[in-house]
Amino acid sequence: MNKIDVVLGLQYGDEGKGKITNQMAKSGAYDYVMRYNGGSNAGHTIYDGGKKVVTHLVPCGVLHGIPSVIGSGCVLHINNFFIELDYLDGLGYDTSLIKVAYNCHIVTDDHIDEDSKDVSIGTTRTGNGPCYRDKVTRVGKRAEDIKELKNFIFDISSMGSDKNILAEGAQGYWLDVDQGDYPYVTSSNCGIGAVLNNGFSHKDINKVVGVAKAYSTYVGAKQYQKTDDPIFEEIRKIGLEYGATTGRSRQIDWLDLNEVSIACLRNGVDHLIINKLDVLEQLNCWNIYDPNTINKILNFESKDSFKDYIRNEISSVCPGIEIEFQESPH
């Protein structure tokens, strides 16, 4: 059996999965790192020994000399892929470690043109939706059809069945095309099932690490932020809450524990990481939406009481879950 550790976002993306995946990849425990969904709509910001590295598609294993696979659940634009390779090459990383699943679908320029006209969803305009549509309507192109990708083509079967794999997710559970707030979702599945669709058994899953932030953010066309409390602007500035792909300002709101605990439950999260506590600490403001009363905000006096409340609430929904708190990486 393989042993797959999964890193999965529990909110709307931008929870800090890149940082966590990078911490785990660094451990040396993995034979492969695999991205299992999405395309270059994602933006993973990683600080590698003080160096800021922003990737959109390539999994972070390449930063640590680990073969890195763009799985069949992903979509890839050829030119953007090579731009990212050049960028990583320029930073001194060994891009010959990068592999592309033969059955990964190709984003075309037409897909990007079409997506660039979107106003209703607020997409990242990277051609994601049109590409997944063509995959599902069976008119898409796959990596195996593309001459320029010949040297990168990878069949998941060639891994064998006894590998340690780190599976890196993109976006977050509440942007999932089935489970999110449709139509304000991305066009792929972002939950645990998406990992298996890259060619694995549920028995291969070893550990699920769920990542959330100490507050909520969302980018897109719907109104997510409930009020225009000026503190949200401060959180945006301190937390650098601007899209890594599009530079758009992220909408900010207090932590929604119902969202996080449901995502933990449905994805079988073993280990929950709550990131960016330092942002709230700078403002000394510890708020959470009351999980039992809509739109009621609970104020906590201190970081410790905020953490205790989260621990108790999440553990009551997901008994036995490990909970860890972290700060911003920079």
User: What are the catalytic residues?
Assistant: 14, 44
Considering beta carbons, is residue 156 or 175 the nearer one to Mg ion? 175
Total of chain residues touching ligand IMP, rule CB under 6 A: 21
Strands 98-101 and 271-275 turn out to be unpaired
Task: In whole angstroms, give the CA distance from residue 273 to residue 279.
Answer: 15
* Range 213-272, binding ligand IMP (CB under 6 A): 219-220
What one-character-per-residue DSSP string does 236-294 give? Answer: HHHTT-B-TTT-PBPEEEEEEHHHHHHHHHHTT-SEEEEE-HHHHHHHT-EEEE-TTST
Would you count residue 14 as binding Mg ion (CB under 5 A)? yes
- Per DSSP, the residues of 294-315 read TTPEEEESSHHHHHHHHHHHHH
Q: How far is the CB of 116 from ligand IMP (least distance, A)?
A: 11
Taking the C-alpha atoms of residue 14 and residue 10, their distance in angstroms, rounded to an integer, is: 10
For ligand IMP, which residue of 22, 68, 187, 326 counts as binding (CB under 6 A)?
Answer: 187
Q: Judged by CB, which is closer to ligand IMP: 97, or 131?
A: 131
> Three-state SS for 11?
coil
Nearer to Mg ion, 103 or 126 (CB): 126
Nearer to Mg ion by C-beta: 142 or 236?
A: 236
**Dihedral sign computed on CA atoms, order 167, 172, 178, 184:** negative
> For residues 15 and 44, what is the distance between their CA atoms, to the nearest angstrom?
10
Q: List the single partner that 219 binds among ligand IMP, Mg ion, none, CB under 5 to 8 Å by kind.
A: ligand IMP
Name which of 14 and 115 has its Cβ closer to Mg ion.
Answer: 14
Q: Of the listed pieces 91-99, 118-126, 254-262, 277-285, which binds ligand IMP according to CB under 6 A?
A: 118-126
| Region binding ligand IMP by CB under 6 A among candidate stretches 117-125, 193-201, 261-269, 309-317 | 117-125
How many helices and strands (H and E) does the chain possess? Answer: 9, 17
Give the x/- contact pattern for Mg ion in 26-45, rule: CB under 5 A.
-----------------x--
Minimum distance from residue 247 beta carbon to ligand IMP (Å): 12
Among 178, 138, 156, residue whose Cα is nearest residue 102: 156
Whole-angstrom distance, CA of residue 6 vs CA of residue 191: 10
CA distance 286 to 277: 9
Answer yes or no whether residue 134 interacts with Mg ion by CB under 5 A.
Answer: no
Spatial distance between the Cα atoms of 37 and 43, rounded to a whole number of angstroms: 13
Give least dist CB 172 to ligand IMP, A.
Answer: 7
Q: Does 175 bind ligand IMP (CB under 6 A)?
A: yes
Q: Residue numbers of the site for ligand IMP (CB under 6 A)?
A: 12-14, 41-43, 121-124, 126, 128-129, 170-171, 175, 184, 186-187, 219-220
Q: Residue numbers of the site for Mg ion (CB under 5 A)?
A: 14, 43, 244
